[in-house]
Structure 1
Amino acid sequence: MTNQTVKVLFFFAVLVLIKAAAFSQSRTQINLDKGWKFNKDSTHLQNINLPHTWNKDDVMDDTPGYYRGACWYRKTLTLNDSYKGKSLFLYFNGANQETEVYINGHKAGSHKGGYTRFCVEADQYLKIGANQTNEIAVKVDNSFNENIPPLSADFTFYGGIYRNVYLVATNKSHFSLSHAANGVFITTPEVSASKASVKITGQIEGSTAHLSLITTISDGAKTVAKVKSNLTSSDFTQNIPAIAKPHLWSPEDPHLYLVRTQLVDAKTGAVLDEITNPLGFRWFKFDGEKGFFLNGKPLKLVGTSRHQDIEGFGNAIPSNYNERDVELIKQMGGNFIRVSHYPQDPKILETCDKLGILASVEIPVINAITENEAFTETCKNMQVEMIRQNFNHPSVVIWAYMNEVLLRPKFGDDKARQQVYFANIKKLAQTLDSLTHKEDPSRYTMIACHGDYNKYRSVGLVQIPQIIGWNLYSGWYGGQTSDFAKFLDSFHKDFPALPVIISEFGADADPRIHATQPIKFDKSVEYAVDFHKVYLKAIEERPFVAGAAVWNLADFNSETRDETMPHINNKGLLTWDRKPKDTYYYYQANLAKKPFVKISTWQIRAGVSDSLNQSVCTQAVTVFSNTSKVNLKVNGINLGSKDIIDGMTVFNVPFKNRLNKIEAIAGNQTCTDAATINFNLIPAKLQADNQPDLHINILLGAKRFYIDQNQNIWQPDQSYKPGSFGSIGGVAYAMKGNSRQSYGTDRNIINTNDDPIYQTQQVGIQGYRFDVPAGRYEITLHFAELTTDKTKEALAYNLDNTTNKETSQERIFDISANDKPLLATFNAASKYGSLTAGTEKTEVTVIGNNGINISFKPIKGEPILNAIQLRRIKD
């Protein structure tokens, strides 16, 4: 080998090292989630990792309210010499809601708003060197602030650094991190099946002298376009030559290209910064008469809204949980997500891009506004942050900025002042709408309104956005489900050119509550299924309805709620920990393309045996499927097949006592589901039965079944029938002045996690009988005084009442069992407290055919009984 050859090889080796070093000198991002210290006061420090919220537990206790205030996070950080000369940023994916960042005692930056990302310039405060320690301190405050939306809402405002935090290191010349965006923005001015053009814009921070910009568009391993241009200013634009026959992006085929934009030193070829973005070629439009079109074809948008909290985590959830939620929408057959009521973790839209879920994203201007410049500026900044941070996601088609802002407006007692308030709301809407079009003219704008059509029209909000969203709950908070279709037709008649999305609709489905004859506000899963059947049918029958988002994908925390599951909004298609309910399977049966069959999730049951056959109890079982027919087998016996109508069918199943094996077969034997249903069979003639493990759990004043936390099934009461069991006298308790709920209370019951046991009762009860055979029995009586002088403001969504107020009743009575005194001068409110659960147990020995007779003798007021249990004691 000659010296010249060695020199040439050495020269090329140096070039390789220079290029390798240049690549390594590009942007780096280091996760800082580990090793923080947290304190809510000045004395107690906790070692924690991020994501973190301090409200994970206190939002679920029986004490009203949860901590809303300031807390501190601290971390030490050492940076080696490789960070010298770099621009350094602390990048927060989310902290709620006011954040101040301190570095080595210096205030480095702050942010207002709990749901958009933000970054803080840090290099001027950070000390570089292996022996240098940096102290990072972050103050986060989730206190109410009239200048930061949301001011109020039906969800919990968790505090904390509840998303990931990073250290971002760049060269001094780099793509701008303004508004925590990546500094590169992609548009597709022209897209068709034959060709597509791409435009790249953005901004550079630092010197632009002798810098070039290289953009490469790749389709997998194939480069489909590459453009290089020299920078002449900090703002740049690149026009990419048309790409022939682009692979279009759609829900059925969410094909993504990759756009790599590099900032290059023109002299050395060193890559100073690099940003990658997804690119999906698609075009879309909303039409007032015909709905939504994607790539020139009509597409009904159907999916769900989504809140970000999960049981056991609050809103501080691991990243993969965000991906899983979008996957569950896709698995259901959905093609749309309303990211509500605030921008969420970056993984949400990243997963929407990959799976083909179209998205609407909004800022949290909810229920009310503050009429000052500070509030307006915060809203504007939120809108800009939301748009710029999520600009390059092909899944996004709508930017929204208000939700139910006229639900319970201020100044109700001063109509003249209220008109000024309405004018300021309209002004804010116009400001945000114009700002949105300026930031991104390619997408549509939307306001989501509650069902008071005349109010939104008279204020002028209906006329501002390009799409109107309606949050409609006919048949839940008021009216009947049949009112839903009437509303849609009436509105469309007045505004035929305005595209419509049903931005919310739903009914509570407490997964523990079931009903054979469901009624409005019984919280049963069965009523919710009936509700969604009516709504989905009306949506699908109307081409002008562009889309619909079920409220909600999953149950979520709302600390101020009471009802059957306190602090939880149960309208989710999934439970808080993401277990599907029947409502989820209903949509899967109607939307999914792959063959599907599912037996109802009601798999712990009870009932009284049939009059003609004491060995079974016949009850309806729902099966969901997208096939034409389903065959059902029960305990090896074929019950035959039934046609599937609107995604479901019902079989009358003869259940035996204890375990029952059910198999559903659909799709020409290719699609099956199996379930084991545990059935507590109560003999119609108790004295003719000799069950050694006989147990009966009865809810009084109720028409629903309930599965408690120990997996015991409770069944509705019946009037006493000789030879059987039941109550004597009295009426079901119903809240006064509440047309929404026909029985029971919706108030939180203290000292229990099984609120439905205590939320209903029989008032004025005279007795309760069990005509059981001879033996020893344990009787448990359950009480809670449901009347109280304590007032509680009703949620704004309960439109038929503004407060829960009822005069407390004093009730004193004696209770005896088979003529033996059990409780004397008993007063549930005095013993336990109002709205507080209490139990009383006794043992009764039955001789002969006398059965058990529990008597209630009034002393003052009317006797009450909420629930009763009977259990045979084995000898």
Structure 2
Amino acid sequence: MLKAKSLLLLFIAATIGLTSFAQDTGRKTISLNDQWQFSKEGGQVEQVNIPHTWNDKDVLDDAPGYYRGLGIYKRKLKLDESLKSKEIFLVFNGVAQEAEVLVNGRSAAKHIGSYTRFIVPISAYLNYKNDVIEVKANNRFNEDIPPLTADFTFFGGLYRNVSLLITHPVHFLQTDNGSGGVFITTPQVSASSASVQIKSAIDNASANARKVQVESTIFDAKGNSVTRHTTALNINKNEHKTITQDIRSIPKPELWSTENPYLYRVVTKIIDVKTKSVIDQVSNPLGFRWFKFDADKGFFLNDKPLKIIGASRHQDYENRGNATPDALQIRDVELLKAMGGNFLRVAHYPQDPQILEACDRLGILASVEIPVVNTITETDAFTNNCLNMQTEMVKQNFNHPSIIIWAYMNEILLRLKFSNDKPRQQVYFDHVRELAQKLDSLTRKLDPSRYTLLVNHGAWDIYNKVGLTKIPMLVGWNLYSGWYSGVPEDFGKFLDRHHKELPNTPFMVTEYGADADPRIRSFSPIRFDKSVEYGIKFNQVYLNAMLSRPFVAGGEAWNLADFNSETREETMPHINNKGLLTIGREPKDTYFLYQAYLLGKPYLKITSAHWKDRTGTADSAALTSTQPVQIATNLKSAELVLNGKSLGVKDAVDHIIDWQVPFVNGKNQLRVVSGSQTDQADINFQLQPFKFNDDQIPFKNINILLGSKRFYIDEKEHQLWMPAQPYRAGSWGWIGGDPYKGTNNRITYGSDKNILGTDNDPIYQTQQVDIKQFRFDVPDGEYDLALYFAELVGGETKEALAYNLDNNHKKEVAEQRIFDVLINGTAFLPKLNLAADFGYTTAVKKTIRITVQNSKGISIDFNAIQGKPVLNAIQLRKIY
């Protein structure tokens, strides 16, 4: 069956070669995404489709590192001999990160860089019988290729679309840094008129001189021709020429803006003078707009002030790595628009062409940057690769009206080299500054119409000292006050400092954010607890500070969606949780908050509706448990109704309204109303008895996190975990000890280590240290009890994340910890030594069935032999 399918595909390809050029209307582009054979170096061969990465699974396992090496892709190509008179190219939109393309065993091209397109002429290598395409891709570490280090995963593979391009011998140039050969600018734009300049590079690969016409037509959004310009051209064999067409006045153009992203289309044709036939044709978007950044007043689009608020984006997707299909790429931009955002920072590298096309259509302003992140290598090869990447980025994306900024460095002084050798460090700083200046100068030369941007982290003094704030036209600051360092209120102080000390330099906040694991909730959110609620508070402070300061051009949340970072551990290992969306693109409460701040139409949303399943202890003897519920809105006030009963009208504060809601056991219907706006949600609540002898609330099961003030939702096993409480007679709780607070001054909440052997890391990342006892005053019966442990101190010392700016990371000294665990006076786990018996940061779960009789309940005692006993979590289920 597979063989028959392959023959059919080859027949289709042959048919294209025979018939598609009957009318000779120009170029043909044919997808080559199917029928590839792939193998790692020395590995087994498998059949794959493009986009493809070999790192979609190994970046998520518990083993440190992931495959960074050679991957080989092969594909047969059946072309009819009638195509010998054509020019044939392979178009690769993204290969990570070193690529060599071979045709029939002969090297046709090499390319460096994971994130830009390259086009390979292959006519000279074809036999038109049984051609074989081979791509050798390598994502190994190479000190001469950026990025060197970064807080994202360097996926390998042929991970963007591949196509075959067939053209006439006279065609638009395809060998200029992956560009399309046509560059469009708008030298003058106003509401009354606009001018357009079109530069077209024409290549003649035929054996004869040719007379052609280059015809450019501008069409409006309805397809009507607005103007046409034709230029005669004589071009010799094996020559390429560039012509410039000036269209001096288009009256009253429809302007492109974020509210009205009106797109014209420029169709440029090469027409054979003799036959009058079109021998090549390309289409490009055209948007009429003008813009400026002002150091005092912020950003202006078409002379109207516009506060830039949006997000940055990484290109990977849940369980797919970077091999993300077109539809999911486009959906990201649609989600940003639906959030009310008007800006996309394409970070930290150029991304799929679909992204900027969507920005053009939807009215999203954009910046794009090359992946010079954290550090540089002081070699000519590294510098040249950076310059080549910048050239490719600008030329390939030149015609997108959504782009207003080209960027080239991100947090380049984050990981300081030569800290113990100040003279050598100064030499390094000089090289960094020289590279920045070269990139900035190159960019301004390639495209004088847009701004240049260099992005710094919040180390004000060093960036000014090295001189990096003086090079670009626009400065970007990545600020995490209240996350990596300090408190959220420091953020506004930093903004004011820039305006005071660099009063003539416009700037944006290019990153800000706090981790928000969608499985973690808290009623008393604090830094590093990873709760959604802390993310809400954090983003409120930042949005208020930026919106209230006209001199702040805008800000981009980090990040639009959670993304893969293999070296991270934390509550969801290998994932950076700062996204407003999950890695599977489900909205978090923070996304709803942005809608409340940014949408221009009435908005009302029960943000806590995402927390559909809750648990909690009854309020005293009541049959309810009172917990907060949040509503995000851009309206002044709203009323909340629970199970048909009003809980009152409240005013919004910073676009959030909080209600204390008395949940009943089972289904709870919430409805919020403000004028004609409504929203509703059903919350399933598992009510725990205040005391176990309360017959009105029968006890079923309870899952408790020790040393924690957060709730955890185990989505896979549908279990709800709640914070522990001190022991209360007739109920349950711990006796003795204190919450684990880490071994350095930065982490004050649990551990951020990857817990081996589990996907439920938050269950094991907090614990009660020096615990004496845990009690359940349950009535007589049969119960299943589970105790959860993990040794959080000791083990391999790993490099601290450079982003933790106040991190006093030091080698942990593992203490000897041995203790007995007894249940109702009987030994259960004698001489338990977690590190020796199971290993460090390893999930340990021990279960037992208990018969409770004589009204004794359940007592778990922890008797120290050496060191301090610990307990991470506990679970009790009644059998009968």
Q: What band does the TM-score fall into relative to the shorter chain? A: over 0.9
Counterpart residue identity of residue 217, structure 1: I
Unaligned runs of 5+ in 2: 1-18, 236-240
Q: Structure 1, residues 649-677: CA drift from partner, whole Å, max 9, x if none?
A: 111100111221212223x23x3222221
Alignment-mate amino acid for residue 226 of structure 1:
R
CA distance in 1, matches of 2:402, 2:181: 19
Equivalent of 1:265, from 269, 272, 282? 272
- Tell me how far apart the structure 2 counterparts of residues 441 and 500 of structure 1 sit (CA, whole Å): 19
Contact 1:194 1:246 in 2 (8 A): yes
Q: Which residue of 2 aligns with 1:24?
A: 24
The answer for the alignment partner of 1:153 in structure 2 is 150
* 1:412-431 alignment, distance < 5 Å: 412-431=419-438
Shift in Å at residue 21 of structure 1?
6.1
1:105 aligns with 2:111: no
Asked if structure 1 preserves the Cα contact closer than 8 Å seen for 2:642 and 2:671, the reply is yes
Checking the alignment, whether the CA contact within 8 Å between 2:24 and 2:277 is kept in structure 1 is: no
Q: State the distance in 2 between where 1:692 and 1:490 align.
A: 59
Q: Deviations over 1:420-470 (max 9, x none)?
A: 000000000000000001100000000110000110000000000000000
Q: Which residue of 1 aligns with 2:338?
A: 331
Report the more deviating stretch, 343-352 or 842-851.
842-851
Is 1:766 matched with 2:763? no
Deviation by residue 1:819-848 (Cα, 9 ceiling, x = unmatched): 122111111222221100011111222224
- Give the equivalent residue in structure 2 for 1:12: none
| Contact persistence 2:29–2:163 (CA under 8 A) | yes
Give the CA deviation at 1:413: 1.2
Contact 1:606 1:682 in 2 (8 A): yes
The offset of 1:310, in angstroms, is 0.5
Report the Cα distance in structure 2 between the residues aligned to 1:727 and 1:289, rounded to whole angstroms.
57
Amino acid of the residue matched to residue 91 of structure 1?
A: V
Aligned twin of 1:254: 261
Residue 703 (structure 1) aligned with residue 709 (structure 2): yes
Residue 202 of structure 1 and its aligned partner are, at CA, apart by 2.5
Contact 1:25 1:171 in 2 (8 A): no
Q: What amino acid is aligned across from residue 623 of structure 1 in structure 2?
A: I
CA distance in 1, matches of 2:340, 2:55: 34
Q: Distance in 1 between matches of 2:810 and 2:198?
A: 56
Whether the aligned pair in 1 keeps the contact of 2:744 and 2:809 (CA below 8 Å) is: no
Number of the residue aligned with 1:68: 68
Pairwise CA distance, 1:560: 0.1
Retained in 2: the 8 A contact 1:791–1:803?
no
Letter in 2 for 1:155: F
Query: CA deviation digits over 1:570-611, x for unaligned, max 9?
Result: 000000100000000000111012322221222222222112
Aligned residue in 2 for 1:88:
88
- Which residue of 566, 570, 573 corresponds with 1:566? 573
Which deviates the most, 448-457 or 785-794?
Answer: 785-794
Q: What is the correspondence of 1:314-713 to structure 2 with a 5 Å cutoff?
A: 314-599=321-606, 600=608, 601-611=610-620, 613-666=621-674, 668-669=675-676, 671-689=677-695, 691-708=697-714, 709-713=716-720
What is the CA–CA distance in structure 2 between the aligned matches of 1:450 and 1:605, rounded to whole Å?
Answer: 39
2: CA distance, partners of 1:789 / 1:314: 29
CA distance in 2: counterparts of 1:253 and 1:688, whole angstroms: 62
Give the Cα separation in 1 of the matches to 2:569 and 2:810: 11
1:201 pairs with one of 199, 202, 209: 199
Question: 1:183 corresponds to which residue?
Answer: 181
The one-letter code of the counterpart of 1:209 is R
The one-letter amino acid paired with 1:442 is S
Counterpart mapping for 1:117-266 below 5 A: 117-128=117-128, 132-177=129-174, 178-206=176-204, 209-219=210-220, 220-231=222-233, 234-266=241-273
Quote the Cα distance in structure 1 between the aligned partners of 2:473 and 2:824. 71
Kindly provide the CA deviation profile for residues 457-513 of structure 1, in whole angstroms up to 9, marking residues without a partner as x: 000000000000000000000101000000110111011111111000000000011
Q: State the shift of 1:693 in Å.
A: 5.0
Q: CA deviation at 1:722?
A: 1.2
CA distance in 1, matches of 2:509, 2:723: 36
Which residue matches 1:729? 736
Counterpart residue type for residue 139 of structure 1: K
Alpha-carbon offset, residue 328 of structure 1: 0.3
Letter in 2 for 1:285: K
Task: Give the C-alpha shift of residue 773 in structure 1.
Answer: 1.7
Deviations 1:540-581 (A, max 9, x none): 011111111000000000000001100000000000100000
The share of aligned pairs that are identical, in percent, is 54
User: Within the alignment, does 1:851 sit opposite 2:851 as a pair?
Assistant: no
* In structure 2, distance between residues paired with 1:445 and 1:828: 54
Which of the residues 270, 278, 282 maps onto 2:285? Answer: 278
User: Are the aligned partners of 1:692 and 1:872 in contact in 2 as well (CA < 8 Å)?
Assistant: no
Following the alignment from structure 2 to structure 1, what is the Cα–Cα distance between the partners of residues 765 and 611? 21
- Between the aligned partners of 2:223 and 2:493, the Cα distance in structure 1 is 53
SS in structure 2 at match of 1:456:
helix
* Residue 240 of structure 1: how far off its partner (Å): 1.0
User: Cα RMSD between the aligned structures?
Assistant: 1.4
Aligned residues of 1:170 and 1:273 also touching (Cα < 8 A): yes
Q: Deviations over 1:155-188 (max 9, x none)?
A: 0000000000011111111111111110000000
Contact 1:795 1:802 in 2 (8 A): no
Superposed displacement of residue 68, structure 1: 0.3
How far, CA to CA, are the matches of 1:434 and 1:167 in structure 2?
A: 35
Structure 2 CA distance for aligned equivalents of residues 789 and 37 of structure 1: 41
Contact 1:689-1:773 at 8 Å conserved across structures: no
Aligned mates of 1:231, 1:719 — CA distance in 2: 87
1:301-339 CA-partner distances (Å, limit 9, x unpaired): 100000000002111010011110000000000000000
Q: Does 1:807 align with 2:799?
A: no
CA distance in structure 2 between the aligned counterparts of 1:578 and 1:738, rounded to whole angstroms: 34
Structure 1 stretch 854-863 or stretch 57-66: which is displaced more?
854-863
Using the TM superposition, give the Cα deviation of residue 84 of structure 1 relative to its aligned residue in structure 2, in angstroms: 1.6
Relative to structure 2, which stretch is displaced further, 652-661 or 145-154? 652-661
Q: What secondary structure is seen at the aligned counterpart in 2 of 1:84?
A: helix
- Matched letter for residue 411 of structure 1: F
What amino acid is aligned across from residue 335 of structure 1 in structure 2? N
Whole-Å separation in 2 of the counterparts to 1:689 and 1:454? 65
Give distance in 2, aligned partners of 1:326 and 1:111: 29
Name 2:842's counterpart in structure 1. Answer: 836
Say if 2:305 is the partner of 1:304.
no
Specify the alignment match of 1:13 in structure 2. Answer: none
DSSP-derived class of the 1:201 partner: strand
Q: Conserved in 1, the CA contact under 8 Å of 2:298 and 2:552?
A: yes
Secondary structure in 2 matching 1:791 = coil
TM-score, L = length of structure 2: 0.95
Partner of 2:9: none
Assess, with a 3 A threshold, how the Cα gap between structure 1 residues 779 and 58 changes in structure 2: closer, same or farther.
same
SS of residue matched to 2:693: helix
In structure 1, give the amino acid aligned to 2:160. R
2:432 & 2:466 partners in 1: Cα distance?
8
The code of the aligned residue for 1:401 comes to Y
1:777 aligns with 783
Maintained 8 Å contact 2:51/2:323: yes
> Secondary structure at the residue paired with 1:839?
strand
Q: Which residue of 1 aligns with 2:7?
A: none
For residues 624-651 of structure 1, give each alpha carbon's deviation from its aligned partner in whole angstroms, at most 9, with x where no partner exists: 1222222211122221222223222111
Output the CA distance in 2 between the equivalents of 1:528 and 1:702: 18
Question: 1:590, 1:22 → 2: CA distance?
Answer: 56
Q: CA offset at residue 774 of structure 1? A: 1.9
- Name the amino acid aligned to 2:567: T
